[in-house]
Amino acid sequence: MDRSAVRRNLAALRERRMWTQVRLAEEAGISPTTVSGIENGRISRPHFGTLRKLAGALGVEPEELLSPSGRGAPSSLSLEWSMSSDDEEFERGLEAASIEGLSSLSDELDEEKLRLRRLYGEARGSEQRRLIKGMIRQVAANSGSVEASIMAHPDNESVREDAGSPG
């Protein structure tokens, strides 16, 4: 088990939902102290039953909490992966992706931008607005990277036609 992966993945998935540690604990039916302990490393080997509860509350498979980052391209690109991976892993994943995978991720990122804009308008309090603005910036940066990858992808017919036409 990659201990730092559990910490990173749990925090990223929780933050993506804009849940506090207390909210995640309530949804999973465990104590907030346990969530905090896993995220800050005090609990370095959480019980699999606890991980299963956390994964269920977050709507993911337990393996997503355990999977180490930085091990090549993901099996499929997803919004969750794009938000939880570091910059280097994200770019490697984009380089290895199919044009269909990139297009699908681009659509997911566009939907997420709209969702976050709605949430920002409904946000109460400056702390929640700052969190949402940070997520909007990350989604926008990831979206720009995906769009650039689509443009440069060898299977993108329009790019090859444009490159070959006199300009």
pTM here is 0.55
- Which pLDDT belongs to residue 73? 42
Fold entry, domain 3-66: 434 Repressor (Amino-terminal Domain) (1.10.260)
Q: Which residue has the tokens 């090549």?
A: 72
- How far apart (Å, rounded) are the C-alpha atoms in residues 110 and 155? 22
- Which pLDDT belongs to residue 124? 82
- Indicate the pLDDT class of residue 141, thresholds 50, 70 and 90: very high
Instruction: Report whether pLDDT(163) > 60.
Output: no
Q: Which residue has the tokens 């036409």?
A: 165
Instruction: Report whether pLDDT(100) > 50.
Output: yes
- Indicate the pLDDT class of residue 140, thresholds 50, 70 and 90: very high
Polymer length in residues for the chain? 167
| Residue 1 CB partners (closer than 8 Å, separation 6+) | 45, 66
- How far apart (Å, rounded) are the C-alpha atoms in residues 107 and 76? 14
For residue range 43-70, what is the model confidence (pLDDT) as tens digits? 988 999 999 999 999 988 888 888 765 3
| Residue 146 CB partners (closer than 8 Å, separation 6+) | 82, 94, 102, 105, 106, 109
Q: Parse the chain into domains and list their residue ranges.
A: 3-66, 79-164
Closest Cα partner for 106 from 166, 156, 65? 156
- Which pLDDT belongs to residue 2? 56
Residue range 86-111: mean pLDDT, rounded: 86
**Mean pLDDT for the chain?**
82
- Indicate the pLDDT class of residue 94, thresholds 50, 70 and 90: confident
